[in-house]
Structure 1
């Protein structure tokens, strides 16, 4: 039995797809599937061959505040499935030999022209040195679209993702070259003061960005730090 139906008028008007609740599917899973089927960015990603809808968030952020440039060395933390790396490859022109894109993840990522994917935990003490060895130099950009697993408790989830961003920011300050940039996912509700203070000390500019590609009901926000000055003393 087909568990997907359409509602609305035909004849030029888009139809909204609704998913009938199946016996073995929870309500939350049904709502997630319905949202996916009706998400224009999911459809666009499939149509344009992008690996994830998240790619359009990075595209929009870079269009508003250009920081990805040809020839740069980019590190993508938690790269799977590769949507952000895909955008970085195009922006730095690594497929044409002008830049480098290295994505690391705990999971294997399907190969992509212009990008190098490695199975590596960025929290491994040897990770910064390993990445510098792979790049042959410091990185120009560190990207992080990572998010801690959600618990459903807003305050707990906020603390967990801020903790993850703090670790990613510390990693970035270890491997970034002077003038480099750091972009990471956070949650609305404010970034912890200690993290903001650290970033403002280490970067010339720190701003929060909410791209249109982020779902309206999502509390996600992105923090873009540019003009790396150097790691702050402990």
Structure 2
């Protein structure tokens, strides 16, 4: 019974944040024509208002994000083209990251460096996991193979640590930058929208953490690949 409870708690910790984020975004995706501008139009308006005319606003299929290398705010089609509260709020959140970048906000700069380092660490982790059974078969030293396996698992899990450590950067983009922009835009209904926009901004801040937690389940895929056959 205790193992079932632990499994439920583990699944809740891994899936819970992601499910909450999805639920919030679905709830405020409708009505899709609530405001006079789309998410893409609002992002352009906010950037121009901050003097960031050089930063592009683009539609993407890779999820909402700000790309500092390309100098672009990228929004999914549902947020770029729609006029929902979710669309406008997510657009403002990504503009918040553009403001962080332009201002040289220290935690944002360090987050970018950590993300690049984690990308390399995760590639190394995949190599270590694949190499573990080969090492075990060739060297016949279980301890070395176990170290390879542990190193791979820790490397692949580094993304979760990075997003947890840099969560304040996401919260800053949401509440110190995006929320004031939304209020000044004049599009929100002041007596109704602010608490709902706060909920969406919280979900936007947790998006990367939720995705990283869910990616931990890839470990089970790797373990199935690495498990020796009968």
Give the TM-score of the pair, scaled to structure 1.
Answer: 0.28
Give the TM-score of the pair, scaled to structure 2.
Answer: 0.29
Larger Rg, first or second structure (1 or 2): 2
Which protein is richer in strand relative to its size?
1
Which protein is richer in helix relative to its size?
2
